[in-house]
Structure 1
Amino acid sequence: MGMLRGVPRTVRLLALGAFLNAVVSFTFVYLFVYLVGPRGLTVTQAGVISGVGGVGLVAGNFTGGWFGDRFGHRRALLTGACVSGAALVVLPALPVAALYGVLPVAQYAAGVVRAANAALVAVSVPGGGRRQSFALTRFAANGGFAIGPPLGALVAARFSYDWLFVADGVGTLLFAAYAARILPARGSAHSAPVRDPDAPGLRRELRARPAVLVLLAAIVVVDLVYRQQYSTLPVLLADHGHSTQFYGWLLAINGGLILCLELPAAHALRRRAPLGLVGAGLLLVGLGYALLIPGTGVILAVAMMLSLTLGEILYKTPATAYVADQAPGHAQGRFQSLYAGASISGQVLAPPLGAAVYAAAPALLWPLCAVLAAGAGAAVLAARRLPGQGERQPRAGRGRHAETGSPERAPAG
């Protein structure tokens, strides 16, 4: 297909692995139900355990790239997948007290895998041609997540919730075995890097790229806003008489449009400047929440979800590729880790902050979300004028993490 032209074979194989892994990654959806149901915990206890697990996931995303830059992205991904899978397999047999420690470890390892996977995509593709590769991996993961929750519900109904964790853990371990097979073990940017003692530190690299700092801050803000659709939005809809089924249809619109449009959009817009696309996408997210200000009728709610989804399609892939294009070879993992952490920070921040505002002043939340997203979009658009923000071409000769420009890397075996 024309949309996949230029996507290296390794990235296609990684995308297939991401799809298969996402299919069995359904425990996070049912974790709270499992804790208050079969485990018999109180809502407060379940909230604490789920919360520390979420903190572990975000921490793994923010710090996982360091392991890849130091020990190799392949090794970071394999280690993280093995730790996460093993922890999930044994989790149903553990006493409640152990969950407070094991679940954050499993989630932290999963965050490391996410950051390492993004870095592996980045180092497998020459600079300036990464958007379609990141779009493909997002497409594969979203496709897997569309299948995973219904499959998880079937497993829980036919067997038990314990089998959800066993299946997720075994699937993650199989993903590790698959990744070990397709990723070259030596002689590539996937393997352990040759460290350059004269390479600038992360802070210095970021200071030289002020637009990246603006983008990362904007992504944190917009993720806080964007993820209100999973926390306060269903509460708003219920308060205005809408059913859970209607909320489910809104999420189906989001998932369906992403699966249908993200790859074609990445292909059609591949030559457009990335920060302009990201800024426009963030503005669309703000517009979506602004549509809730006059009311929550069916038409306005559907229009809101359409605007949010189009905004997501516009900003997520170009933003990921832009950070990868800006990153120096020796810090690709840490740059991707910063973006991965920023892009999932709302998972921890959105529920408590959104709930606090909604409880104090329900009518204030949606204008506030619109203003925050619009401000983030305006900041990214303004960052186009900052010095040193143009796409940086890969530099050869900086060790094994330097991108040599070859788009194809044959998998091991």
Structure 2
Amino acid sequence: MQGFKDIPRVVWLLAAGVFVNAVVSCTFVFVFVYLTGPRGLGTTQAGLIVGIGGLGLVAGNFTGGWYGDRFGHRSVLLTASALGGAVLIALPALPTGPLTLALPLAQYAAGVIRAAHSALVAVTVPEGARRQAFAVTRCLSNGGFTVGTPLAALVATGLSYDWLFVADGLGTLFFALWTARAVPAGGATRPPAAPDGGLGRGGLWRELRARPAVLVLLGAIVVVDVVYRQHYTTFPVFLADHGLDTRAYGLLIAINGGVILLLEIPATLALRKRSPLHIIGAGLVLVGGGYAMLALGVGVAPAVAMMLLLTLGEILYKTTATAYVADESPEHAVGRFQSLYAGVSVSGVVLAAPLGGALYAAAPDLLWPLCSVLGVGAGATVLFVGARAARRPARPAHETGSPAAAVAG
């Protein structure tokens, strides 16, 4: 198909491994239930462990690309997958004390894997085909999660929650072995040396200041991720408070996954030649517009409209933003730029629940209008920056992670 021809074979192989791993990597959905159920922990203790795990995930995303720029993205991906897989397999056998350390460690490894994988794709794929490449891997990851979640529920209820962690660990180890065979050592996976590239010497900050649109985008993504993840935290509580039970929420989440599987790749192909900042800005506006639908009243129709707009916004901004940051990265810091984006793109894992929960408890009628304003405002800011960037000359290829730079590593 036109648009896929520039995606290297190695990316397709990586995407296949991501799909298999995603099928069995659904333990995070059931962690709180596992801790308060079979493990017998109180909700406060379980919540603390889950919260620390979320911090581990964010920290892993922020640091995975840094390791890759220094040691090679393939090596970091293999190491983190092996470590994370081993910890997950051992986790059910651990007593409560070591468990509180092991779970955040597994989450940290998962964050490193995510950032290292994004950086590996970025340095492997030439500029101009990265949107399609990231769309393929994200679509297959969502597909694996869609298949895996109901299977995981069957395993947890029919066998044991322990088997979820064992399966997740084995899947992560499989991903390490698959990556080792699919991705050749050396080549583009070994980044060039980064002269004066450390934060302490001003290297990364200097590169970011030279790319103000990237800085604005990173800030907008922090805001929108807190807004976006309300549909995982306060939104189901809102539905329950208005008479819509867990089954209704499950169907809405299914709409999200189904629309992504149907439209993500076609939308990416259709829009691949459009200005990335305009696409990202439009996506952020749609996320904010989704929450505005809840002002129409409480019921199935507004909830479905909200989820559809939210999902369309996600399709537009997530893949395009990942590729845009890769395209804007200097050749010696692709991993660090990917880590910055990966970290801010999961910031809502830590911030969404406490901020949204506190506001919903204090002023429930204010939460959704505020989410709408923040989403639309973030999108409008990115659109404004995109309009200004369109009037500037293109950045020279040697200053970005261009095709030549990606191959040169």
Q: Which TM-score band (shorter chain)?
A: over 0.9
Residue 385 of structure 1: how far off its partner (Å) = 4.6
Give the one of 189, 192, 195 matched to 2:193: 195
Give the one of 232, 237, 251 matched to 1:235: 237
| Residues 1:148 and 2:151 aligned together | no
Contact 2:188 2:406 in 1 (8 A): no
Query: d(CA) in 1 for partners of 2:362 and 2:289?
Result: 23
Give the one of 250, 253, 260 matched to 1:251: 253
Contact 1:3 1:263 in 2 (8 A): no
Paired letter, 1:190:
T
C-alpha distance after superposition, 1:301-320 (max 9, x if no partner) = 11111111111111111111
| Alignment-derived partner of residue 214 in structure 1 | 216
C-alpha distance after superposition, 1:131-155 (max 9, x if no partner) = 1001001001000100111111122
Tell me: CA distance 1:108–1:391, structure 2 relative to 1, closer, same or farther (3 Å): farther
C-alpha distance after superposition, 1:318-346 (max 9, x if no partner) = 11110000001110001011111111111
Give the one of 290, 293, 299 matched to 2:292: 290
C-alpha distance after superposition, 1:371-413 (max 9, x if no partner) = 10011001101112556977646439x9xx8742788x9xxxx
- Structure 1 spans left out of the alignment, 5+ residues: none
Query: d(CA) in 2 for partners of 1:79 and 1:263?
Result: 30
Partner of 1:395, secondary structure, is: helix
Query: Equivalent pairs: percent with the same residue?
Result: 64
Residue 16 of structure 1: how far off its partner (Å) = 0.6
Residue 370 of structure 1: how far off its partner (Å) = 0.4
Residue 184 of structure 1: how far off its partner (Å) = 1.0
Moved more, 120-129 or 253-262: 120-129
Query: d(CA) in 2 for partners of 1:134 and 1:390?
Result: 26
Contact 1:81 1:176 in 2 (8 A): yes
Query: d(CA) in 2 for partners of 1:5 and 1:120?
Result: 19
Paired letter, 2:17:
G
| Residues 1:36 and 2:36 aligned together | yes
Give the one of 356, 359, 362 matched to 1:357: 359
Query: d(CA) in 1 for partners of 2:168 and 2:112?
Result: 17
Query: d(CA) in 1 for partners of 2:283 and 2:402?
Result: 31
Paired letter, 1:328:
P
Give the one of 395, 398, 406 matched to 1:395: 398
After TM superposition, the structure 1 = structure 2 runs for residues 251-330 of structure 1, keeping only pairs within 5 Å, are 251-330=253-332
| Alignment-derived partner of residue 379 in structure 1 | 381
Residue 348 of structure 1: how far off its partner (Å) = 1.1
| Alignment-derived partner of residue 18 in structure 2 | 18
C-alpha distance after superposition, 1:109-128 (max 9, x if no partner) = 11000000001111111123
In the comparison of the two structures, how many residue pairs are matched?
Answer: 403
Query: d(CA) in 2 for partners of 1:390 and 1:240?
Result: 52
Contact 1:88 1:168 in 2 (8 A): yes
Moved more, 383-392 or 106-115: 383-392
Query: d(CA) in 2 for partners of 1:133 and 1:402?
Result: 15
Tell me: CA distance 1:402–1:374, structure 2 relative to 1, closer, same or farther (3 Å): closer
- Structure 2 spans left out of the alignment, 5+ residues: none
| Alignment-derived partner of residue 58 in structure 1 | 58
| Alignment-derived partner of residue 114 in structure 1 | 114
Contact 1:69 1:333 in 2 (8 A): yes
Partner of 1:75, secondary structure, is: helix
Residue 236 of structure 1: how far off its partner (Å) = 0.8
Paired letter, 1:272:
R
Tell me: CA distance 1:3–1:195, structure 2 relative to 1, closer, same or farther (3 Å): closer
Contact 1:125 1:405 in 2 (8 A): no
Paired letter, 1:116:
A
Contact 2:127 2:402 in 1 (8 A): no
Greater helix fraction, Structure 1 or Structure 2: 2
Tell me: CA distance 1:251–1:196, structure 2 relative to 1, closer, same or farther (3 Å): closer
C-alpha distance after superposition, 1:234-271 (max 9, x if no partner) = 11111111121111111111110000000000000011
| Residues 1:86 and 2:75 aligned together | no
